[in-house]
Amino acid sequence: MILKIECLTKRFGGIHAVKDCSLEIEREKITAIIGPNGSGKTTLFNLISKLLKSNDGHIHFNGKNITKLKDYEISKSGISRTFQDVRLFRNLTIKDHLEISLSNSDESIFKSLFKDKPNNAERIDRILKLVHLKKPLNTLVTDLSYGQRKLLDLAMAIAKPHSLLLLDEPVAGVNPVLREEIKEIIKNLNKNKGTILLIEHDMNFVMDLADYIFVMDAGKIIAHGEPAEIQSNKKVLEAYLGD
C-alpha cells in the first residue's frame, strides 16, 4: 500500500465536495477514480497534493503522514500529478519544462552558477519518446496543440522524481487515436513498476486499463472493486444514469 486516505472531508461553503472519503492505493497497480461531473474527483486530487486544505481526515503516503506538509513538500516526497486543465509555463520551451521537472531541488544560485550542469539530454530524449512527443526541444509551449500539451504535461509528471503518479483525466478532449496512445503509455508506465492513480469519468476507458476502481458520487465513495464488479454494480449504474 502506497497511499492511504482516511475520512477525508472538504467543504466549500455549504457544498460537501469530498465527504468522509477513505481509500487505499496499492503499489504497482493502476487505480482509477470514476464518477459523474462534480462528484469531487479533482477536489480529492487537490487535497492529496495539498492545493486545497482538507477540513478533516488524514493522508498517509509511503507510511508517512503527509496531511500537514505543504504542496511543494508533498511533491518532493514523491507524488507527481497532472491537471485536468493542463498547466504549463507559457514562456518556456519543452526542454525548460523537462529540465525543471527532472530536478528535485530549488536550485541554489551558487550551485547553479558554478557546478557543472547535469546532462539531461538523454533522459529528456527518452521521456519524450515514451510519450510520443515529436517536437523540437526549443519549441515554446504556446506553439503546441492541445494534444501535445497534454503529452508534455504527462511527460513532466513522469520526469519529476516520484513513486506515485496522479493523472486527472489524461484523455479528456483528445482525439481517439491519441486516446489509445495515451492508454498504451499508461500501461507501459505500469509495466515498469509505476503506481498510477487516475481520474476518468468515462467508464469504458478505464475498464480494460485499471486494476481497481473507486466510484465517487456527490463527494462520497459509493463503490469500489475490480472492473468486472463495478460494471455490474447497481449503485454505480444509478449514479451514472441519474446524472
Partner 1 sequence: MIENYLIHILILIGIYIILAVSLNIALGYTGLLNLGHIAFFGIGAYTSAILTREGIPFILALIISCIIAGCFGFLLVWITKRLKGDYLALATLGFSFLIYSLMLNLSSITNGPLGISGISRPNIFGYFLKSNFEFLLFVIFIAIISCMIMYAIIKSPFGRLLHATRDDELGLRVLGKNTIKIKYKAMIISSLFAGLAGSLFAHYNGYIDPTSFMLNSIIFIFTIVIVGGIASFKGSIIATFILFIIPELLRFFAIPSHVLGPTRQIIYALILIGILLFKPKGLFGRIDLE
Binding site for Mg ion (CB under 5 A): 42, 84
Instruction: List the grid coordinates of 18.
Output: 469530498
Beta carbon nearer to ligand ATP, 38 or 57: 38
Question: 189, 168, 203, 148: which is closest to 44 by C-alpha?
Answer: 168
Binding residues among 194-223 for ligand ATP as defined by CB under 6 A: 201
Distance CA 165, CA 196 (A): 5
Residue 48: CB minimum distance to partner 1, A: 11
Question: Per rule CB under 8 A, is residue 138 in the interface with partner 1?
Answer: no
Please identify which residue in 31, 39, 80, 148 interacts with ligand ATP, judged by CB under 6 A: 39
Amino acid at 160: K
Among candidate residues 63, 30, 25, 67, the one with its CA nearest the CA of residue 50: 67
Please choose, out of 32-40, 88-96, 182-190, 197-205, the segment that lies near partner 1 by the rule CB under 8 A. Answer: 88-96
What are the residues facing 165 on neighbouring strands?
80, 196
Q: How far apart are CA 200 and CA 203, in angstroms?
A: 7
Q: CB under 5 to 8 A by kind: which of partner 1, ligand ATP, Mg ion, none does 222 bind?
A: none
Q: Which residues between 34 and 73 bind partner 1 (CB under 8 A)?
A: 49, 51, 70-72
Q: Is 134 in the site for partner 1 (CB under 8 A)?
A: no
- The set of residues, in sequence order, having a beta carbon less than 8 Å from that of 13 and lying 6+ positions away, is none
**DSSP code at position 93:** B
**Strand, helix or coil for residue 140:** strand
Give contact residues for ligand ATP (rule: CB under 6 A): 12, 15, 17, 35, 37-43, 84, 201
Give contact residues for partner 1 (rule: CB under 8 A): 49, 51, 70-72, 75-76, 81, 83, 87-92, 96, 99-101, 103-104, 106-109, 112-113, 117, 142, 156, 160
